[in-house]
């Protein structure tokens, strides 16, 4: 699809009255194998006590390691508290401090108490197997799960694409489509859907007639593989700078990878103090577009 041609005039939907579509059972093709990437974005402080003969650089590295360890232990305790260990067993691909990917660092240096202080924001990825992932969609007490899909995996020129979105509990989300030419378009929030909050358990659709959303996802050249990308969390997500693209939507002036990085960096606190964090689910769906 192209941005210029995707905004076709509103079409008469044969999907039924709007009220019948929210919370409906999924129809047509069911979502395939789990396409969710689950992680915890966590903030933590780390300290290293000054020692004779130990340089400032070495102390900083010790403090950084302590912060990563604190982030892992705190995030794991949070996940266990969400019912993860009991109802949806998980595993960390790389447990401990080694599994913490540092997204942001604030170096507070040597404090009056003789300790070197570092604050970090880090990401800890974790996995559920396919059976556990499918079960998690029915368990509101377990780890956050969000899935996204379209009715088909292949669309022809001129056809309309409707995006379906569902979570196991209430969640905040930003929804993007990455077109085959690399353009990144934000589908939600938008001019008509200003909130990023979605009710858990229901099937939400983009565009949604109930909200009078103006845009339509109309298949047009260039053809290829398009992607729907969702970033979801139990906490509100920070705004991402975009440019108006018409019909209430907006364009992200970067690549999909840049979007992934920025979405993680913007989660959590202001960047200098604070501990704790939130779950992040990145759900993706791919479909092909072709000429008639």
Residues 54 and 32 reside in one and the same domain: no
- Kindly indicate the confidence band of residue 34, based on its pLDDT and cuts at 50, 70 and 90: very low
Q: Which of 96, 126, 156 is the last residue of a domain?
A: 126
Statement to judge: residues 285 and 169 lie in one domain: yes
189 and 275: one domain? yes
d(CA 37, CA 50) in angstroms, rounded, equals: 39
Whether 97 is covered by a domain: the verdict is yes
- Token pair of 263, please? 């979405």
pLDDT of 84 higher than 90: no
Same domain, yes or no, for 210 and 95?
A: no
Residues 265 and 164 in one domain: yes
With 80 as the cut, is the pLDDT of residue 36 above it?
yes
User: Residue 140 domain-assigned?
Assistant: no
> What pLDDT sits at residue 83?
57
Residue 97, C-beta contacts closer than 8 angstroms, at least 6 positions apart? 65, 68, 69, 71, 72
Kindly state whether residues 268 and 150 are assigned to the same domain. Answer: yes
Closest-CA residue to 280 (of 34, 40, 108): 40
Q: Are residues 186 and 70 in the same domain?
A: no
Q: Report the distance separating Cα 266 and Cα 257, nearest Å.
A: 14
Same domain for 31 and 73? no
Secondary structure letter of residue 87 according to DSSP: H
* End residue of a domain, out of 97, 126, 155: 126
Whether residue 281 sits in one domain with residue 152:
yes
Question: Of 116-130, 155-169, 193-207, which gets the smallest average pLDDT?
Answer: 116-130
The reply to whether 133 falls in a domain is no
For residue 244, name the pLDDT band (cuts at 50, 70, 90). very high
CA dihedral angle for residue 257, residue 242, residue 232, residue 286, rounded to 10 degrees: -50
Whether 139 maps to a domain, the answer reads no
Q: Band of the pLDDT at 1, cuts 50, 70, 90?
A: low
What does the pLDDT average to over 123-149?
83
145-191 residue pLDDT tens:
999 999 999 999 999 999 999 999 999 999 999 999 999 999 999 99
Q: Check whether residue 85 and residue 203 sit in a common domain.
A: no
Least confident interval from 25-39, 58-72, 213-227: 25-39
pLDDT one-digit tens code per residue, 86-119: 455 788 999 999 999 999 999 999 999 999 999 9
Give the per-residue pLDDT at 9.
39
Domain that holds residue 255: 3-36+145-290
Q: Provide the CA 201 distance to its chain's centre, in angstroms.
A: 17
CATH number at residue 64: 3.30.1660
Q: Which of 92, 126, 160 is the C-terminal boundary of a domain?
A: 126
Same-domain check for residues 59 and 180: no
What's the structural domain count of the chain?
Answer: 2
Does pLDDT of 201 surpass 70? yes
36 or 12, greater pLDDT: 36
Nearest to 175 by CA among 218, 204, 152: 204
Question: 21-30, 197-206, 221-230, 248-257: lowest mean pLDDT where?
Answer: 21-30
DSSP letter at 112 equals: T
**Residue 283 counted as domain residue:** yes
Domain membership of residue 137 (yes or no) is no
Least confident window among 38-52, 85-99, 212-226, 230-244: 85-99
Domain assignment of residue 31, yes or no: yes
55 and 25 within one domain: no
Mean pLDDT across the chain: 85
What is the Cβ-side half-sphere exposure of residue 79, based on CA atoms within 13 angstroms?
27
Is residue 188 domain-resident?
A: yes
Looking at the predicted structure, is the pLDDT value of residue 16 above 70? Answer: no
pLDDT band at 267 (very low <50, low <70, confident <90, very high): confident
Asked, as a colleague might, if the bond just before 203 is cis with ω within 30 of 0, I would say no
């Amino acid at each position: 699809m192209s941005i210029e041609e995707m905004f076709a005039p509103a079409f008469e939907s044969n999907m039924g009255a709007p009220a019948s579509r929210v919370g409906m059972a999924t129809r047509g093709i069911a979502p395939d194998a789990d396409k969710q990437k689950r992680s915890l974005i966590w903030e933590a402080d780390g300290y290293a006590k000054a020692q004779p003969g130990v340089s400032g650089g070495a102390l900083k590295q010790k403090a950084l390691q302590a912060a990563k360890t604190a982030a892992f232990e705190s995030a794991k305790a949070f996940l266990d508290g969400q019912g993860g260990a009991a109802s949806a067993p998980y595993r960390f691909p790389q447990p401990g401090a080694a599994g913490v990917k540092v997204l942001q660092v604030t170096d507070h240096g040597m404090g009056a108490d003789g300790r070197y202080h570092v604050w970090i924001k880090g990401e800890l990825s974790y996995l559920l197997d396919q059976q556990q992932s499918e079960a998690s969609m029915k368990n509101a007490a377990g780890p956050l799960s969000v899935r996204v899909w379209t009715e088909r995996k292949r669309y022809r020129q001129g056809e309309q694409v409707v995006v379906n979105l569902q979570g196991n509990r209430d969640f905040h989300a930003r929804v993007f489509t990455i077109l085959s030419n690399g353009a990144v378009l934000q589908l939600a929030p938008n001019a008509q859907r200003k909130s990023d909050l979605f009710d858990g358990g229901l099937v939400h659709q983009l565009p949604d007639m109930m909200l009078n959303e103006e845009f339509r996802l109309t298949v047009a050249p260039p053809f290829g593989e398009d992607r729907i990308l969702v970033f979801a969390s139990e906490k509100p997500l920070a705004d991402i700078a975009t440019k108006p693209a018409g019909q209430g939507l907006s364009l992200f002036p970067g690549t999909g990878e840049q979007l992934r990085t920025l979405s993680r960096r913007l989660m959590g606190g202001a960047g200098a103090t604070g501990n704790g964090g939130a779950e992040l689910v990145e759900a993706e769906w791919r479909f092909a577009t072709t000429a008639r």
